[in-house]
Structure 1
Amino acid sequence: MQSLDLGIIGNGTIGALVDPHAEVVWSCFPRLDGDPLFCSLLREGHGTDDFGFFVIDLVDLADSEQRYIGNTAILVTTLHDKEGGCIEITDFMPRFYQHGRIFRPLSLLRRIRRICGSPRIRIRLRPACNYGAQRPIMTWGSNHIRYVTPDLVVRLTTDASITAILQELPFFLENELTLLLGPDETVPGAVGKVAQHFLEETTNYWREWTRNLGIPFEWQGEVIRAAITLKLNTYDDTGAIIAAMTTSIPEAANSERNWDYRYCWLRDSYFVVNALNRLGATRTMEHYLSYIVNVAAGAANGRLQPVYGIDGRANLHELEVPTLPGYRGMGPVRIGNQAFAQAQHDVYGSAILAATHVFFDQRLARPGDTALFQRLESLGDKAVEFYAQPDAGLWELRGQARVHTFSAVMCWAACDRLALIANRLGLAKKAARWRARGQRIHRDILQRAWNKRRNSFVSTFGGSELDASLLLLAEVGFICADDPRYVATVAAIESELKHGDFIFRYVEKDDFGAPENAFLVCSFWYANALVALGRKDEGRALFDKLLAFRNRHGLLAEHINPKSGEQWGNYVQTYSMVGLINSAIRLSIRWDQAF
């Protein structure tokens, strides 16, 4: 049965998910939001007529192991057969500096090496196109096979038998084979030597990248893996960071909460930029900030939508794909995301909070100036206009619109940060204006979002329900953590939204019924709230419990079943990995306290 116990590889152009038996179950070409060349994650089955996968079978398979090469995005799978034979498969996508720039080709490299015994293998390479609707046209030569789709041509270059691959014939593995799936171009040189060079350079790249990270003293391996994964969810060409590499992994079994997450949500920007800043990943952060600023600058009349394509496109019209049955057959499979058309007013604060770094971080090559501030002011104007207007909220409710407290708080944050930026630029009158507007919104939120009967802030103005975003009120500076109202709100969330070790985002019914699984990042928010309340030991204990629910590679999806611990939702989830990073940095002892 399919699971999310998958490794992730990538290079900032494309990515792939690989299962414990070395099957490539998901990979989109020619970029992270493209048509999946491999899509068996959403269509299980390897029969004669099935396709959409890349499998290296070990005949009479008995056992498998899988690991990353330390501090890299290079995945190694070891397969053992029943007769004592053993092979090792190394999967990666090349990424390294060449000719003064990053070389990140449209290429997947698989190296197969005999470790011992007389292993017999079979290579089954069956790409798909048009979201699993058909197989590409194939042509071949003496050392390559071409796969021709309506929009793309990829070429497999190999030193393995072309006949064995085309006819999927088992054969004995003598030494080492290379499979290079990439652009329809001739490989310059022996494919094995090219692969060895790519492997060495890619290993060096990732180790140098991780060497420059600022990591906490504790949980170093966990943070490094999360940071690499965050980097793999980055589309280098524009700087966009996707929410996840997949589409339509359901949030819970048979829930139909199946969404396409291969896009960039503006609300993620505040948390992602904070994580990158704390890690010292300034180039990635700067590139991402450029994407955010460009999207904001291009917003018509200052109006932002919640989510954009990785190329900045606005229209993400949502469609259901009939050709893929879905994860474990739990459709529908969707491409596009209709949330782009929703009103979610928190995006104004998210964009401005992220952009604030441009004005204050002296490491960045292009500091913010008055011209950029004026562009951000148009977003602030919208925040003032919309803060008390109904919207779908950060949980993207599709069937109802209300005035959400978190949206209003983020609109306040937009004004608050604009005042800080204006001060930084020496614009005293502008600073006073934005400060006054923020104070007015702040007073209104305190009056309308506080429920005296519940002794808590609530999720909507005049409402009585809770949601996990209220944990962030101190995080964004709206209220002090030692304010009795915040303390009481955290206590209310503990009482109502905490199920076992996990915090649900909310518990009331929505368009699809009551949520069954916990939204993972909310539990990291709760751990951070415990630290802010001076309950650090409790926060550390919770954090250790959360780490235990990661898969074998230290990776997290979007949701988790609080009873079984099984992960659900799109994978690997940027929000969850960023939550891990931010919590680890807050909870760890300092380096100067460690010895």
Structure 2
Amino acid sequence: MTKHTYDLGLIGNCAFLGLIGKDTAVRWLCWPRFDSSFVFGSLLDSKKGGEYRISPAEGDFESHQYYLQNTNVLCTEITTENGSYRVTDFAPRFPQYERYYKPLMFIRKVEPISGTPRIRVACQPVGQYGALQLSRRRSSNHIAFLGLEEEIRLTTNIPLTYVLDEEDFVLNETKYLVLTYGAPLEAPLESTAERFLLSTIDYWRKWVKSTSISSFHQSQVIRSALALKIHQYEDTGAIIAASTTSLPEAPGSTRNWDYRYCWMRDTFYILTAFNNIGHFEEMERYFHYIANISSKIKGKYQPLYGISGASDLIEQELDLEGYMGNQPVRIGNDAYTHIQNDVYGQVLVALLPLYVDCRFLDPDKNNPEKLIYEALHLIQATMDQPDAGLWEFRNLAQYHCYTYLFHWAGSHAARQVAHSLGNTEMEALATTLMHEARNRIEQCFSEERQAYTNAIGSPHLDASTMQLILMGYLDPASEIAKTHLEALEKELKTPEGLFYRYRHADDFGTPETTFLICSFWYVEALACVGRVDEAIVEFEKLITYTNHLGLLSEDVDAKTGSQWGNFPQAYSHVGLVNAAYRIAKKLDKPNFVSGAAATA
């Protein structure tokens, strides 16, 4: 079997995301929001997905795709028999009028490099996930695409006839294409595009300079941080799991899910990553998103919410080909209906800095006692309730060790808040719940295996229980931390150093691919227990599973090294950032540089 990778580059500006192939085709772009219908979606259907490409008129060509260093500006160089050209793709983002300018505007700069290349431009956006064909209206210097709530407009200095008729022409000077949704470009084309490009490059490079990153695999951490940054929907602060939907976890598995939402449980890991690289602004925006959801909760928390905080994410199947024929294609995610009781502790751990971090001078605390008490009472009410667990089993409820870990961690966080507020009653309740959660966690311990199983009464091991070490429940220097990690290695680790979430059958059979976030948890656990040299070796193996641009998927086929699952996966990049930070802290050598560092 050949190795499958997503040969795609990611662009974005915290208002929208796009995926661009090495052939310059825009394979995925949703407007006006991360979770809107695609306007270009050939990733999921070659016929209904629309088209936007700047392709060579000739047949064969070579492609070289790369980022301008320390930016999210993507370059694709195409070389043909008659010459070569470069397409520079970016989403404008830079400070303006005391805020960030981040329009629904996608700019493509096309410039000849050598010879006399002939190119052909095709641009045909669609609506309603390919069910709606847009009409075109030709104007003086732009083409309007009509049929959506707002106009899509292509403003270009390429003869409009060539674009409308998809006729090839000689590229002998720099051309610009500015695609907008809603507000159009009403300014000089060439000078504005150049100014936006230079301002965007400058913004990203300053952002990178403001990160706190050690020299350990610094360039790969920078690329992961840049990818993670543009998965934040800045308007609300939400951070989505991935920009795509329905890319399969393994071919034919039907594990095709919509990841364009914000999972509450991942809040802690994301905020840890931003804290580890010293980015307070992103943390603060995300805090406000979580606090907004927490303040309006009635009853239980959902495992995930929409980027606006919407709670109804009704799952539907679309009549589309699917990625490489993999069906079904789903939008929405039924996991919002699941009982996943770890989320209460996750929210408490995530919100803790609002009340104890001195950098929050005047946070909108929305009556912290009320919020903390509600979460604690939900932990109390669900202490003996089975749930779907973090892997979101659809037809299996258990008393999961991971859930109890976050009952414990959340209660611990609440106790810290109570102490800072001087609330002895809250502190006593949190302490009681910590002890109750610990009691349930210990019921997951297997004397025979000297390890914690995934649930009370279950014989199965689960990579999520590495969090017992990472969260400080187990002393990393203890014998039990050592034997627990060794048991997980024996059962779940592949010879390549990758980790399965679990190996027992679930609703869809036995998992076929490994889960990258688990592999990065393993690296962290190795560093925690003092096996730092091994952690470095395993980390360096993991970064070989990126695509040509340093981007990570959700899953990896251990036998072939193939990338699968939604892409890019924000939480895989979170895992990389946190693992690198954990190793760097153990090394405590600011000038340590690994020879295998990837290129950002």
TM-score norm. by structure 2 comes to 0.95
Which of 562, 565, 570 lines up with 1:569 in the alignment? 565
Please name the residue that 1:505 is paired with.
501
- Alpha-carbon separation, structure 2, partners of 1:516 and 1:51: 29
Secondary structure of the residue that 1:88 maps to in structure 2? strand
Letter in 2 for 1:307: L
Deviation at 1:193, TM superposition (A): 1.0
- Alignment check: 8 A CA contact 1:296 1:376 kept: no
Are 2:492 and 1:488 aligned? no
For structure 1, the residue ranges without an aligned partner over 5 or more in a row are none
Secondary structure of the residue that 1:285 maps to in structure 2? helix
- Alpha-carbon separation, structure 1, partners of 2:361 and 2:280: 10
- Alpha-carbon separation, structure 2, partners of 1:183 and 1:22: 20
- Alpha-carbon separation, structure 1, partners of 2:126 and 2:372: 43
- Alignment check: 8 A CA contact 1:359 1:368 kept: no
Residue-pair matches, total: 587
Please name the residue that 1:406 is paired with.
402
- Alignment check: 8 A CA contact 1:244 1:573 kept: yes
1:254-284: per-residue Cα shift (whole Å, max 9, x none)?
1000000000000110000000011111001
Please name the residue that 1:327 is paired with.
323
Secondary structure of the residue that 1:503 maps to in structure 2? coil
Please name the residue that 1:69 is paired with.
68
Secondary structure of the residue that 1:66 maps to in structure 2? strand
- Alignment check: 8 A CA contact 2:215 2:590 kept: no
For structure 2, the residue ranges without an aligned partner over 5 or more in a row are 594-600
Secondary structure of the residue that 1:42 maps to in structure 2? coil
Please name the residue that 1:393 is paired with.
389
Change (3 A) 1:386 1:185: closer
Please name the residue that 1:314 is paired with.
311
Letter in 2 for 1:312: G
Query: Which 10-residue stretch deviates more, 370-379 or 404-413?
Result: 370-379
Letter in 1 for 2:242: A
Superposition pairs of residues 144-183 of structure 1, within 5 angstroms: 144-183=142-181
Query: Which 10-residue stretch deviates more, 365-374 or 545-554?
Result: 365-374
- Alignment check: 8 A CA contact 1:405 1:459 kept: yes
Please name the residue that 1:455 is paired with.
450
1:379-435: per-residue Cα shift (whole Å, max 9, x none)?
111112213311110000112111111011111211111001111222234223311
Please name the residue that 1:427 is paired with.
423
- Alignment check: 8 A CA contact 2:503 2:510 kept: yes
Structure 1 residue ranges, 4+ long, deviating more than 6 angstroms after superposition: none
- Alignment check: 8 A CA contact 1:216 1:590 kept: no
Secondary structure of the residue that 2:428 maps to in structure 1? helix
Deviation at 1:4, TM superposition (A): 1.1
- Alignment check: 8 A CA contact 1:78 1:86 kept: yes
Please name the residue that 1:8 is paired with.
10
Which of 279, 300, 304 lines up with 2:301 in the alignment? 304
- Alpha-carbon separation, structure 2, partners of 1:293 and 1:281: 19
- Alpha-carbon separation, structure 1, partners of 2:591 and 2:44: 48
Letter in 2 for 1:264: C
Superposition pairs of residues 345-356 of structure 1, within 5 angstroms: 345-356=341-352
**RMSD between superposed Cα atoms in Å:** 1.6
- Alpha-carbon separation, structure 2, partners of 1:368 and 1:353: 17
Superposition pairs of residues 139-538 of structure 1, within 5 angstroms: 139-301=137-299, 303-322=300-319, 324-367=320-363, 369=365, 371-446=367-442, 448-500=443-495, 501-538=497-534
Deviation at 1:592, TM superposition (A): 4.3
- Alpha-carbon separation, structure 1, partners of 2:100 and 2:402: 39
Deviation at 1:99, TM superposition (A): 1.0
- Alignment check: 8 A CA contact 2:30 2:38 kept: yes
Change (3 A) 1:19 1:400: same
Please name the residue that 2:33 is paired with.
31
- Alpha-carbon separation, structure 2, partners of 1:148 and 1:334: 26
Letter in 2 for 1:308: Y
Please name the residue that 1:89 is paired with.
87
Deviation at 1:360, TM superposition (A): 2.3
- Alignment check: 8 A CA contact 1:358 1:366 kept: no
* Overall identity of the aligned pairs, in %: 37
- Alpha-carbon separation, structure 2, partners of 1:28 and 1:98: 25
Deviation at 1:370, TM superposition (A): 8.1
- Alpha-carbon separation, structure 1, partners of 2:184 and 2:248: 40
- Alpha-carbon separation, structure 1, partners of 2:272 and 2:40: 33
